[in-house]
Every structure is written in C-alpha cells, then in structure tokens.
Structure 1
Amino acid sequence: MVYPAKLTPEAIFQAALDLLEGGGDGALNMRALAERLSVRPSSLYRHYPDRAALVAALEDHAALALHGALREASRDLPPGEALGAAAHAYLDYARAHPHLYGLMLAPRAPAPAGPGPGKDLWNHVLHLVGAVTGQPDDTGAAVAYWAFLHGYVQLERSGGFGLSGPRGGFERGLDALIRGLSPVLP
C-alpha cells in the first residue's frame, strides 16, 4: 500500500490521466483513482480538493498538448499551409486522445477566459488565422476555423458520416475555408 506521505500530485495526475484515457470521463472518479493508487479516497484530497480540480488539471494538460501539436505542425510554414497543417494536427490529436479532447471541449456554461493553457491555445489559433486573413485579432475567422474543426471531429466521432465516410469532405472544407479567409489566395 502506498503511504499518503509518498503520494504526490504528479502520481495522482498520472493515474487520473490513465483512467480517463482508458475509460473516458465515466471511469474517472475519486474512488477508482484511490483504488488504483492503493490509498484511501480521503488521501487524494490533500493534493486535489475535489474532482473538479483534477478535471481542470487534465483540461489544462489537454490544452497544452493540443497547443504543442498545432505549434509543431505549423512551424516555419507559410500562413495558408500552416493553417492547414494545424488543422490536420488538431484532427490527429482528437483521434489519438478522444477522452482528453472530449473533456477539454465538453459543454459548459460560458465564462470569461482567464490566463492559462486554454487561452494560450486560443491565442495560437487566433495568430494562425490572423496570418491568413491579414487581421491579427480576427476572432470571427478564428471561430469559423475552430467550429469547422470541432464540427468535423464531432461528426466523425458520432458516426455522422455514415458508412460511406466523409469522402474527402475534410480536405474540401478546409481548402474552401482557408481560401475564403485569405484576401490574396485565389
């Protein structure tokens, strides 16, 4: 049995991440987490005051990872190509980490975005889109881009494309979107 004094926030976080990635949001509860770590549930609360705090940490982790994937994919590319590469990285992340992605973009009440990984991710998307539109703070275009990506992911995850699949719809939609955002692309 792990002694509570040897229990660290990092160990709790990693076990929570494993539970989430392995079984989705429903698998992530404090009792199962404590069982996985061979501690009593009350031991967890020394490091995370409640499940919401742990979920917030996981959301931050997801936003950091997605931000890193978009940044890496778009590095050193011309604006239109960077936006396309970032879109593919977004789709790859959502496919590879469906439960983290789902947690990060789960429905919630609107709230002001404070500083942190989620805001940094948004600012990166805003920067990529602004490089294409020529407007550094083009929120409308960034929302359109993100809505396209998220909508595609949700349709794919729900089976909304049916047995025939999307038939190139992602590429066609992405191309149309990038061309529509650019004041100079034909």
Structure 2
Amino acid sequence: MLTRDRIVRAAIDLIERDGAEALSMRKVAAELDAAAMSLYHHVPNKAALLDAVVERIVTDIDFSDDPEAPVRERARGMMRAFRKISHDHPRTVNLVITRDFESPATLRLFEHAMEIARAAGYPLADATRIAGTFLSFAVGCLMRETRFQKMVEDHGDHALEEKFAAADPAAFPNISALVASAFVLDLDAEFEFGLDLLLKASLPEAFPPHEPAGPNR
C-alpha cells in the first residue's frame, strides 16, 4: 500500500543513489512501481517531498541522553548524533543543512541544545546564543565534510593533498609545510578537536552562579 512514509523512504533511497538533483515525483513513483499522480494524494509537490525528507532524517537522529550526566558529555553526545547523519545519509545531508528549519522535528535540534545550555547554568538569552553556536559548528562541519566528499568523488582520494601540493610555497609557506609533513585529512579527528575547543570554551566544568532568575532567565 502506498503511504507517505514509503514515499519519503523511497525519495531518500533515490537521493542516496543518484543525488538530490535526480529527485522527481515521477522517479519516486517508479521506485515504488506506482503511478506518479498517486503520490500527490500523500505529498502535494516536490518541495513538500524535500521537506518531508529533511523531517524524516532529523527525526531519526538519536538525541537521547542522561539529564544527570555532565553537561559537556551531553553536548558531546548531541553533536555526535547530529554529525552521524552525514555518515548515514551522505547525499541527503545537504538538504538538512540547506532547507528551512521550521518543523517540530528540526526545531527540537535547537530545543535540545538550549536545554543543555540551561542545565549548564546559562540564562535564557545566553542559552539561545550557546545553542546557536553549537548548531553553527555542527552545520559548518557537515558542509565542510559534504564538500570534501564531493571533491573525493570528482577527483579521487588524494584530491585535497594534491590541491595543497600545487600551492606556491612562497605565498603559502604553512600549507607547503603541511604537505611536507605528509598530512592526511582525518574528518573524525578534525571534528573531535574542534568540538573539544567549543565545549571547553562554552561549558566550563565549574560554572559561576548567576543572578536570581528574572523574566529573561
């Protein structure tokens, strides 16, 4: 039986196989061995289908954690869970970071980040800024990884190293030194290094007490 969930899952499979640019209602219908017009009873148009894909991907992120755990570990788990979608859905992830975050499922990303910041002792306004910083880092990492994976797909496993090696040593002495050190980009290590810096800066282990709660706390 044709359902909205089956349509969305088929769209995700098609995107992962052929890329988001290949998505169309007709192709999704073909994946399901259904008439294209029958999809419109469940999804009004392609834009709505793309939104539903994002909703499904974000809904599948596992943000479960222990509210009693240290806030840094809670934040670390949240960030790793968000990043995991780039491994589970390497081609679909670009939709997650480029389409509007307006649904309940996508808003819960921000809500969870705010909850952790509040647990760390931040007042409401600062918790909002901390949550925004968390998500900016996570989205930035996903964008960087997506671009890197595209570069590898187009030019091979050593595309970045070759690009760095072509740089003029006089103009880019540090990049040239990096090439000479036999540097190889490790995306997992890059993510964890940046995450450690972010957590140490934003979530001190001993947070100073705040003023009594007011309207904005």
**TM-score, with structure 2 as normaliser:** 0.68
Query: Which position in structure 2 is the counterpart of 1:143?
Result: 132
1:118 maps to a residue whose letter is T
**Structure 1 residues 11 and 88: alpha-carbon distance in aligned structure 2, compared to 1, 3 A threshold:** closer
How far is the alpha carbon of 1:105 from its aligned partner?
1.4
Query: Which position in structure 2 is the counterpart of 1:96?
Result: 88
**Contact 2:71–2:116 (Cα < 8 Å) also in 1:** yes
Query: Which position in structure 2 is the counterpart of 1:180?
Result: 201
Deviation by residue 1:91-111 (Cα, 9 ceiling, x = unmatched): 222222123321121155xxx
Q: 1:126 aligns with which of 114, 137, 143?
A: 114
**Structure 1 residues 165 and 17: alpha-carbon distance in aligned structure 2, compared to 1, 3 A threshold:** same
Residue 43 of structure 1 aligns to a residue in which SS? helix
Q: 2:30 aligns with which of 32, 35, 45?
A: 35
Unaligned runs of 5+ in 2: 152-158, 162-183, 208-217
Q: Greater Rg, structure 1 or structure 2? A: 2
**Structure 1 residues 11 and 130: alpha-carbon distance in aligned structure 2, compared to 1, 3 A threshold:** same
**Contact 1:63–1:117 (Cα < 8 Å) also in 2:** yes
* Aligned pairs, number: 173
**Structure 1 residues 114 and 173: alpha-carbon distance in aligned structure 2, compared to 1, 3 A threshold:** closer
CA RMSD of aligned residues (A): 2.6
Is residue 126 of structure 2 the alignment partner of residue 116 of structure 1? no
**TM-score, with structure 1 as normaliser:** 0.78
Q: Percent identity among equivalent residues?
A: 26
Residue 48 of structure 1 aligns to a residue in which SS? coil
- Most deviating of 7-16 and 49-58: 7-16
The whole-number CA distance in structure 2 between the counterparts of 1:145 and 1:32 is: 37
Unaligned runs of 5+ in 1: 1-5
**Contact 2:25–2:46 (Cα < 8 Å) also in 1:** yes
